[in-house]
Amino acid sequence: MADDLAASPVLALTTALIARRSLTPDDADCCALIAARLELLGFRSEWINEGGVTNLWITRGSGAPLTILAGHTDVVPTGPLDQWQSDPFSPEIRDGVLYGRGAADMKSGLAAMVCAVEGLLTSQPHIQGTLAFLITSDEEGLAQYGTRHVVKVLLARGIKPDYAIVGEASSNQQLGDRIMIGRRGSLNGVLKVLGKQGHVAYPHKVENPIHRLAPALAALVSEVWDHGNAHFPPTSFQVSNLHAGTGANNVVPGDCEVVFNFRYCTESTEASLRARVETILNAQGFRYELKWQLSGEPFLTQHGALIAAAQAAIADETGLSPELFTGGGTSDARFISPWGAETVEIGPVNDSIHKINEHVQVADLDRLSAIYLGILQRLHAA
């Protein structure tokens, strides 16, 4: 692999990051490695660590536009090691493909961003505005003390970004075929229907919470929450867990718990969904407890200079005109976009993220870096 590493700084940095075992929320000194590289270019580091999470905010330049390159160093657990064809923390290239945990999500994205900025500032030391990296080690876990926290701190200082590029794996079949310009919101609920436990043979002495739940669940499942819009599919309601019963076949349980999730579009809000669920439940006339947890608000970036620059840079490098996409799971863009930045996610192909034998095409690493460079040149030309 030594020859490959010498030939591609992006590959060298990606493999150096994969070799650091940064299981969420451990950064394993990935941020320190990146900070050391960027400080050589005149960036100034600030550590906004919180709750055991490493957060790097590092900037160079002044004034507008302020572009944030954002990402995370933490990775998800490997899963069964015996199913990996090589050690997930010993990066290995086989047939032009780089394998390792974080190869696609998202150490290659981080490395490609760092190398793009190195390329830009080496060729054009005087650029317009400010470049910043916001890198956290808490994206894959609770995401409480990572980007969410840093945004809160910087917002309180009056810092206002113009553009944000999140290096998450956004591509679908080939590099550059898709960029994320929005994400659905995610709202979790835990419903506990309260009944009265007793012997199944004495139905007049029990209140069966499963029977109470059944019509309410049917109503929730068949409800049309909205019809979506030009950018988003309709809001979806899904039950993920259903628990009731003592294990015995002659006992009516005392309660029944349902865990559900909304993936919602910009036609609905947290408040509107909560109110409608409660209306449906109240109509059933049973006793219940309901807990809500908002995982992320939906966002949609309006067309502006960043999307235009991204489309042009991707067309230059790949010849593709990327699909502007809003599906998939959540990412830290949910915290950055409400801060007021035009926000997109651009990164490698995402088919292996979080899986056994996670990988990225080696040839895509330099091309991804060239895409980031093309975007920054367009946004920061002096």
Q: Which residues are part of the catalytic machinery?
A: 74, 139
Beta carbon of residue 375, minimum distance to Zn ion (angstroms, whole number): 19
Amino acid at 378: R
Helix 9-18 with 108-123: angle, nearest 10 deg: 140
* Beta-carbon count within 10 A of 338 CB: 15
Closest residue to Zn ion using C-beta atoms: 105
Here the contacts of 350-355 (C-beta below 8 Å, separation 24 or greater) are 350/104, 350/105, 350/168, 350/169, 350/170, 350/171, 350/172, 351/172, 352/103, 352/104, 353/104, 353/105, 353/169, 354/76, 354/105, 355/79
Minimum distance from residue 28 beta carbon to Zn ion (Å): 16
Binding residues (CB under 5 A) for Zn ion: these are: 105-106, 168
Q: Rounded to the nearest whole angstrom, what is the least distance from the CB of residue 292 to Zn ion in the complex?
A: 25
> Among all chains, which residue has been given the structure tokens 């572009």?
67
Q: Which tokens is 186 given?
A: 């995610």
To the nearest whole angstrom, how small is the minimum distance from the Cβ of residue 166 to Zn ion?
Answer: 9
For residues 333 and 315, give the distance between their C-alpha atoms in angstroms, rounded to a whole number: 23
What's the longest Cα–Cα distance across the chain?
83
Query: Which of 130/330 has CB closer to Zn ion?
Result: 330
Rounded Cα–Cα distance for residues 45 and 26 (Å):
19
Q: 107 or 380: whose CB is closer to Zn ion?
A: 107
Question: % helix / strand / coil in the chain, to the nearest 5?
Answer: 35, 25, 40
Choice between 146 and 176, CB closer to Zn ion: 146
Closer residue to Zn ion (CB): 71 or 161: 71
**Cβ 106 to Zn ion shortest distance, Å:** 4
Please write down the HEC assignment for all residues of 215-250.
HHHHHHHHCCCCCCCCCCCCCEEEEEEEEECCCCCC
Burial of 328: CB neighbours in 10 Å, binned 0-12, 13-18, 19+: middle
What DSSP assignment string belongs to 181-194? Answer: -EE-EEEEEEEEEE
Instruction: Choose between 137 and 311: whose C-beta lies nearer to Zn ion.
Output: 137
Nearer to Zn ion, 50 or 105 (CB): 105
Residue 13: which residues within 8 A CB-CB, separation 6 or more?
33, 37, 110, 111, 114, 115
Toward Zn ion, which CB reaches closer, 65 or 71?
71
Minimum distance from residue 180 beta carbon to Zn ion (Å): 11
Q: How far is the CB of 170 from Zn ion (least distance, A)?
A: 10
The residue to which tokens 């996409």 are assigned:
325
